[in-house]
A and B are shown apart, each in its own frame.
Chain A
Amino acid sequence: MTAASFAQRAHPVRSRIPARVAILVACATVLCALALASVALGSSGMSLQRVLSAILGTGERSDTIIIWSLRMPRLAMAGLSGLALALAGFALQRATRNPLASPSVLGIVDGAALGVVVFLFLFSNDANALTVSIQWQPLAAVLGALGFAGLVILLAARTGAPPLRVILYGVALGALAKAGVTLFIVDGPVHRASQAAMWLAGSVYQARWADVQVLAIVLGVLVPLVFLLARRMDQLQLDELSAQATGLPVRATQLMLFALAATLTAAAVSFAGAIGFVGLVAPHAARLMLGGRAGVQALGAALIGAAIVIAADLAVRVLFAPLEVPAGAVTAVIGAPYFLFILIRAGRVHA
């Protein structure tokens, strides 16, 4: 047989790609449907027609205001933060070769939380009110997140530690940050505690266009980087020695993925708060549906992550109205059992 005929034999793998495309299109469709529903439903429901005409600028003025200044930024914030958390979890799972890795284990979320409570502590006056605008809170969260991410990455880079150890560094630093958060909350005025609790649970209901813009710009830089590393992430499916033998600089790649995951997480949680389990569930579900090719899986994870947070935010609005329950509560309610499911399944495989 000639080399050319061998190449043709290899062809059937290509023919499976349309199945993946179909799944991706289905994910995107679900995402769009959720987005439309999210805009239409709220404390006052609207028909699809009203929604569309408001979006196109031909609707009633009150509809246009509700949609463009209240619901759309909230939708965009939910989608973008879900996407960022999903990709962060994806990068971490690839860097560690562990399907249970997620942004919350790296200590970054706890670092952001510490930033928030320190901010609330520093800028509260005796009258139990903030002395500066609450709009600075995301900045405090970013500083906290990046500070702790920096510590974890510094430790990882200095010791050249294997991924599992890096995660343990993250867990340890996260515990430290968590202790700090508890101290600041216990030892402070009431408004600070409730404000912090809101953030800690993860919520998008206060989203503003300015925040969305900042997040979108940051993601515009970070997300392409994830896809640029796709081929390297494919190689990382091999054990470290084998990956190295094929020519991949393993430690450098893992470090890049850690840094990317840390910044993606910091960006997302700074605005939307500690929305849990998206970074764990989305990449895992994408892998089940789309297989292990890094580029395809990343795309799927991003769509699913966005859909999960939008759906969670929609659920809290429809189910708990007029109360504003944080979206993170819903993702946790769905995500935690899923986490258990993965654990039990993985346990069975390894046994």
Chain B
Amino acid sequence: MLKGHSADQCEIELRAAALGYPGKLVFDALDLSIRPGRLTALCGPNGCGKSTALRAMRAMLPTQAGSVLLRDTPLSQIPAKALAREIAMLTQSPTAPDEMSVEQLVSLGRYAHRRAFAPDARADREAVAVALAQTNLTELAHRAIGTLSGGQLQRVWIAMVLAQAAPVILLDEPTNHLDIAHALEVLSLVQRLGAQEGKTVVVVLHDLNLAARFADDIVFFRAGQVAGCGPVEAVFHQELIEDVFGIECIVRREEASGRPFCVPLAACPARRDRLVQD
């Protein structure tokens, strides 16, 4: 029912979008395009609007002006269930009852695909089973989620999002509260599955080096503005990072993967102020 990709290849587009919460406008006119089939990381300091922008892409907060489009259709015109079939989202700190089983939780991702009173369809059960297998959870399917470790639990939530079978996946800080090994595991899982199935993935990430390691594109936000946006190669530069975060740092390249990484050296608020005044 939604149009296919337009010529300029843009999956989600924000056009002069004014976004925020009652009494606090975060963006007064945000322009941003998310390219299809790529993993885009949203980065920036605390309070820069990364999560706000992500929520706007899932129509979770009202657009006070401008528009948010999914393949040229305004989100506001897409009914709730249809939108859920197009865009899945993992929120920042999702919760569910401890005694719920892994499989039950993952099957909640199928809500938008079910008809009102029909029992679980075969297609639903298969989608759940596939999502469990993809996230390596098949053995844990009947465990209560309250008994899982943090890393396992995060995989369960990702499985729920995968079961939603949407071409676009939004993840709000999926590596929060995870140690580095589990963070790497979760992001490589997301990267691999996204690439395999040609999904468009947008991830809010706090850790710059994880973003540089896994993303195709990076968007840097700074105080309600886009400070830089494009392929990792094009934007992951010392100058920009120093300005966005108000730090001094060194950017180097890791030999094996060819990916850049950043070594922060010191806080330097003056640089940040300079960018805001520009």
Is B97 positioned at the interface, with any CB of A under 8 Å from its CB? Answer: yes
B81 and A247 contacting across the interface, CB-CB below 8 Å: yes
B95 and A238 contacting across the interface, CB-CB below 8 Å: yes
A-B residue pairs, 4 tightest by C-beta: A247-B84, A6-B129, A247-B112, A245-B89
Contact with A along B164-178 (1 / 0, CB 8 A): 100000000000000
Q: How many residue pairs, one in A and one in B, have C-beta atoms under 8 Å apart?
A: 94
Contact with A along B235-258 (1 / 0, CB 8 A): 000000000000000000000000
CB of B70 to closest CB in A, whole Å: 14
Q: List 23 A-B contacts (CB under 8 A).
A: A3-B129, A3-B130, A6-B130, A6-B133, A10-B125, A10-B128, A10-B141, A13-B103, A13-B104, A228-B117, A231-B114, A231-B116, A237-B97, A238-B96, A239-B94, A242-B90, A242-B95, A245-B58, A245-B89, A247-B83, A247-B85, A247-B112, A292-B99
CB of B3 to closest CB in A, whole Å: 20
Is A1 positioned at the interface, with any CB of B under 8 Å from its CB? Answer: yes
A292 and B116 contacting across the interface, CB-CB below 8 Å: no
Is A9 positioned at the interface, with any CB of B under 8 Å from its CB? Answer: yes
A10 and B58 contacting across the interface, CB-CB below 8 Å: no
Residues in B lying within 8 Å of A, measured CB to CB? 58, 60, 80-81, 83-85, 88-91, 93-101, 103-104, 108-109, 111-112, 114, 116-117, 122, 125-126, 128-130, 132-133, 138, 141-142, 160, 164
Which chain A residues lie closer than 8 Å to B164 at the CB level? 246
How long is the Cα–Cα vector from A241 to B54 in the complex, in angstroms? Answer: 13
Q: Which residue of B lies closest to A238 (CB)?
A: B96
B138 and A246 contacting across the interface, CB-CB below 8 Å: no
How long is the Cα–Cα vector from A249 to B78 in the complex, in angstroms? Answer: 13
Is A244 positioned at the interface, with any CB of B under 8 Å from its CB? Answer: yes
Residues in A lying within 8 Å of B, measured CB to CB? 1, 3-4, 6-7, 9-10, 12-13, 228, 231, 234-235, 237-239, 241-242, 244-249, 291-293, 349
Partner of B97, one of A10, A13, A241, A292: A292
B129 and A10 contacting across the interface, CB-CB below 8 Å: yes
A235 and B103 contacting across the interface, CB-CB below 8 Å: no
Q: Which residue of B lies closest to A12 (CB)?
A: B142
Which chain B residues lie closer than 8 Å to A293 at the CB level? 104
How long is the Cα–Cα vector from A12 to B160 in the complex, in angstroms? Answer: 19
How long is the Cα–Cα vector from A291 to B142 in the complex, in angstroms? Answer: 13
Which chain B residues lie closer than 8 Å to A228 at the CB level? 116-117
Which chain A residues lie closer than 8 Å to B117 at the CB level? 228, 231
Which chain A residues lie closer than 8 Å to B96 at the CB level? 237-239, 242
A7 and B111 contacting across the interface, CB-CB below 8 Å: no
Which chain A residues lie closer than 8 Å to B133 at the CB level? 1, 6
Q: Which residue of A lies closest to B112 (CB)?
A: A247
How long is the Cα–Cα vector from A247 to B80 in the complex, in angstroms? Answer: 5
B108 and A235 contacting across the interface, CB-CB below 8 Å: yes
Q: Which residue of A lies closest to B95 (CB)?
A: A239
B129 and A7 contacting across the interface, CB-CB below 8 Å: yes
A13 and B85 contacting across the interface, CB-CB below 8 Å: no
B111 and A3 contacting across the interface, CB-CB below 8 Å: no
Q: Which residue of A lies closest to B118 (CB)?
A: A231
B108 and A246 contacting across the interface, CB-CB below 8 Å: yes
CB of B96 to closest CB in A, whole Å: 6
Which chain B residues lie closer than 8 Å to A238 at the CB level? 94-96, 108
CB of A338 to closest CB in B, whole Å: 19
How long is the Cα–Cα vector from A241 to B117 in the complex, in angstroms? Answer: 24
A241 and B108 contacting across the interface, CB-CB below 8 Å: no
**Which residue, B81, B91, B128, B164, has most C-beta atoms of chain A within 10 A?**
B91
A292 and B141 contacting across the interface, CB-CB below 8 Å: no
